[in-house]
Homo-oligomer: A and B are copies of this chain.
Amino acid sequence: MSLVDDLPNRVHLVEMLPRDGFQRLDEFVPTDEKVEIIDALSTTGVDEVEFTSFTHPKAVPTLRDADEVAARIERRDDVTYRALVPNLVGAERAIDAGVDKVNALVTVSETYTKKNQNRTRTEVLTEVEDIVAHAHDHGVDVEAGIGTSFYCPYEGAIDREETLSIVDRVVDAGVDEVTLATTMGLANPVEVSEAFGRVLSKHPDLDVGLHLHDTNGMSLANTLAAMTVGVDRFDASVCGLGGGVVLPGDLSGVGNTPTEDLVQMLDRMGVPNGANFGRVESVAHDVAERLGLGTPSHVLAGGTVERVLETVERDEGDNDV
C-alpha cells in the first residue's frame, strides 16, 4: 500500500516564528520590526499565525509587547490570529486584544510544568476549563497545545498513557482542537504515528495538530508519518527559529520545522496547503537577513530544484566565457 493513498486532502499550516522564534532570541526584537515581520508572514498563504504569547513580562521579556503587537498588526480576513496563553489572565488579555484563537498551554511532564508555569499540572488543567468558558463566551476558539507529549528534558521519555490522559482531560474541558508538541524535538515517526493513531481512535472527530521541533532531524519524517494517520494541521517556523524558554542555554534553540522546508515538501508531494512557496521562500530569506540567521534551512541553503538548476546554468555560462 502506498503512502500516497493516505495523504490528507488539505494541510492547515500555522506560522510560529512570532511566538516560538522571538521568544527564544536573547535580544528583544523592537515592536516595529515584529509588526513588520508578522505582517509579512501573514501574506504567505498560511492559514494561521501564532503572533505572540500573553505571558507575564518577567517570564518572557522578549514578548513583553504582546498587547501593542496585537493592536498594531494588520488583520487579514484569511488568516487566523492565535496567541499562546499560559493561564486565565493571559487568555483574558489575549481576548481583550482581539485574538481569533488562544493556544492554552498544558505540559504532560509535572517537572516541566512546574519550571515553565510554576504550578502543578492539575492546577493548569483546571484553569483550561476557565479559559474555555471565558473564550467561548467571547466567541474565541481554544486550542490546547500539549507540551512534552513525547520527551521531557527533565523526566526523559514520557509515558504514552499520561499524554493520552491529558488529551482526554482537555477534550473534556471543551477545547476546540488539540496539538501534540515534541518540545524536545526527539520524537520519531513510530511514536508520532502511534500517539495520533490512539488519539484519533478514541476521538475520531477531534481536530488534531502537530508542533515539531527538529533536534533529531526527523521533523519532516514525523510530518509524513503524522499525515498518514490523519493529522492535517502542522505548526512550523520560518527559518526554523524556535525554542523553549526554560531550557538550558545549549538547548534553548531547538528549532522548529522550517516553514519553507515543510511547504516545499508538501508542494512537491502535491499536498494542498494554502501557502505560496515562492512567497514563503522570499519572506524566510528576508527574516534570515534581518535577524542575522545565516542559512538555517535547506531551502535557504539553495536546496530547491529551481536554485540547483540556476546554479548549474550560471556555472555552465561561466565556463563558456
Interface residues of A in 1-15 (CB under 8 A from B): 1-4, 6-7
**Is residue A98 contacting chain B, with contact meaning CB distance below 8 A?**
no
A265–B189 CB distance below 8 A: yes
**Contact A186-B308, Cβ < 8 Å, known A1-B1, A2-B193, A315-B248:** yes
User: CB within 8 Å of B: which of A186-236?
Assistant: 186, 188-191, 193-194, 197, 214-218, 220-221, 223-225, 228-229
Contacts A215-B298, A248-B315, A298-B215 given; indicate if A151 touches B224 (C-beta within 8 A): no
> In the bound complex, how far is the Cα of B299 from the Cα of A214, in angstroms?
11
A184 at interface, CB cutoff 8 A = yes
State whether A302 touches B3 (Cβ < 8 A). Answer: no
* A217 with B298: CB separation less than 8 A: yes
User: Considering the complex, which residues of chain A in the window 273-321 have a beta carbon less than 8 Å from any beta carbon of chain B?
Assistant: 297-299, 302-305, 308-309, 311-312, 314-315
Is A250 a contact partner of B311 (Cβ separation < 8 A)?
Answer: yes
Contact of A315 among B224, B249, B261, B304 (CB under 8 A): B249
Question: Do A188 and B225 have beta carbons less than 8 Å apart?
Answer: no
A270 adjacent to chain B (CB < 8 Å): yes
B residues in contact with A28, CB < 8 Å: none
Q: Which residues of B contact A225 (CB under 8 A)?
A: 3, 224
Number of copies: 2
Min C-beta distance of A177 to chain B, whole Å: 22
Q: A153-B308, A305-B151, A309-B153 are in contact. Are A268 and B221 (CB under 8 A)?
A: no
Which residues of B lie under 8 Å from residue A2 when comparing CB positions?
193-194, 197, 228-229
Closest to A196 in B: B2
Query: Which of B156, B215, B218 is close to A220, meaning CB atoms less than 8 Å apart?
Result: B218
With A218-B265, A250-B311, A298-B215 known as contacts, the answer to whether A3 contacts B186 (CB < 8 A) is: no
- Contact call A269/B220, Cβ cutoff below 8 A: no
In the complex, which residue of chain B has the Cβ closest to the Cβ of A185?
A: B303
Most buried by B among A151, A216, A299: A216
Q: A261 CA to B191 CA in the complex, in Å?
A: 17
Nearest 9 A/B pairs, CB to CB: A217-B298, A248-B315, A188-B268, A215-B303, A220-B221, A190-B269, A221-B221, A216-B303, A153-B312
- 23 CB-based A-B contacts, threshold 8 Å: A1-B6, A2-B228, A3-B225, A3-B228, A4-B194, A7-B190, A151-B305, A153-B311, A154-B312, A188-B265, A189-B265, A190-B270, A191-B268, A214-B298, A216-B303, A217-B298, A217-B299, A217-B303, A218-B265, A228-B228, A248-B315, A251-B302, A251-B311
